[in-house]
Amino acid sequence: MKNIVITGGAGFIGSHVVRLFVNKYPEYNIINLDKLTYAGNLANLKDVEGKPNYKFVKMDICNFEAFYQLMQDEKIDGIIHLAAESHVDRSIKDPFTFARTNVMGTLSLLQAAKLYWESLPEGYEGKRFYHISTDEVYGALSMNHPEGIEPPFKTVASSEGHKAYGDDFFYETTKYNPHSPYSAAKASSDHFVRAYHDTYAMPTIVTNCSNNYGPYQFPEKLIPLFINNIRLGKPLPVYGRGENVRDWLYVEDHARAIDLIFHKGRVAETYNIGGFNEWKNIDLIKVMIKTVDRILGNPEGHSLGLITYVTDRLGHDARYAIDSTKLQRELGWEPSLQFEEGIEKTVRWYLDNQAWIDSVTSGEYERYYDEMYNR
Ligand code: NAD
Ligand code: TYD
């Protein structure tokens, strides 16, 4: 595969995947296809602009004709599909946009790829449709060990050792049970991708990943929003009691996994990708406060008073935790960063890149945020 489309390449994870592929594979022709919604920003990719193996195409993934034409013009043999509406809170307010982009957009890409690849003499030989999905499709896990227990797998996640807050985990075989409109739409798109393999023999792969963090994440998600608010001395809106658990993975480790799976993963397989790194929101928030205060030279505990408990998110999933030992065992992947290193790098990046935050949060986002928190 040499001619590759990466959809959603101007977004958070997509920009890291584009950067990795453009720098690592000079012989490829990498096309970043993105509609540039509020979440897509070409400022995320300034360092790869102008490289001979990189091209940006502004396109909506729901535009079937345009994508079918692009497949033919560029002789596309690989698709890495990340474009999506990705924020759970937005999906609660506006589920239709999520169904349109995540479900209909994915179906549109699948059908265009099918028509083009089936028209070639070699058919599906050497082709690949890789869909990037989320662990949220599996639903919520129990919190039956609120004090934490030792997990059943070896981890590199934290220098202090890793805790699991329940005795169940998401496996590749876990039944889908999505709760939010976001995860329902992602689940539906995963099913369509698998249906194109099972019905038409398209070479597809799906991966389901846990929560990512790192540079270039739109500051409506927990980690960048809170780092920025701590810096500005603004309230930190903690949903419910802050007891919900998420499993955090540094975004570059996800991009490395995507590279490995795109090239070496088995067709028609599902791989879970996770951080082996469960945190209760409130504990993670305290780590962010401590780190930002230290770097800014504030006394310890200075920003703890910003914590503000607010009405819980509707249908808020209690706990996500991934078992990604299949990926470790089959392809030798594991997270490279311990959480302490990852969070330090992330906090420093947001503090050093205020201009980026200002540019992406102007306009539409400000209005959304005001409405969200009734300001
Ligand atoms: P993001 O919101 O930062 O970026 C999404 C990108 O898709 C943006 O560049 C946006 O402009 C583009 N886009 C949206 N609608 C489009 C459309 N109709 N046509 C073309 N482009 C469109 O999202 P992210 O956090 O980088 O997530 C990327 C993918 O990874 C998503 O599919 C998401 O479901 C999945 N994922 C995310 C996480 C996470 O923690 N962020 C975890 C697991 C899986
Ligand atoms: P988020 O970053 O939106 O990711 P996801 O909902 O996909 O897991 O949220 C992470 C966790 O943080 C989730 O349990 C909701 C919580 N949260 C807050 O408590 N306050 C906030 O302002 C946000 C955005 C999230």
Q: Structure pTM?
A: 0.97
Residues with a CB atom less than 6 Å from ligand 2:
88, 211, 221-222, 225, 237-239, 244, 246, 281, 313
pLDDT digits (tens, 9 = 90+) for 177-198: 999 999 999 999 999 999 999 9
Instruction: Classify domain 3-373 by CATH architecture.
Output: 3-Layer(aba) Sandwich (3.40)
Query: Which sequence positions are flagged as catalytic?
Result: 135-136, 182
274 within ligand 1 shell (Cβ under 6 A): no
Residue ranges in the chain whose pLDDT is less than 50: 375
Contact in structure between 322 and 273 (CB atoms under 8 Å): yes
Q: Which atom of ligand 1 is nearest to the CA of 83?
A: 7
pLDDT digits (tens, 9 = 90+) for 331-370: 999 999 889 999 999 999 999 999 999 888 876 555 555 5
Q: What is the pLDDT of residue 151?
A: 81
Ligand nearest to the CA of 37: 1
Nearest CA to ligand 1 atom 25: 12
Using the mean position of ligand 2's atoms as its centre, give its distance from the Cα of residue 53 in Å.
Answer: 36
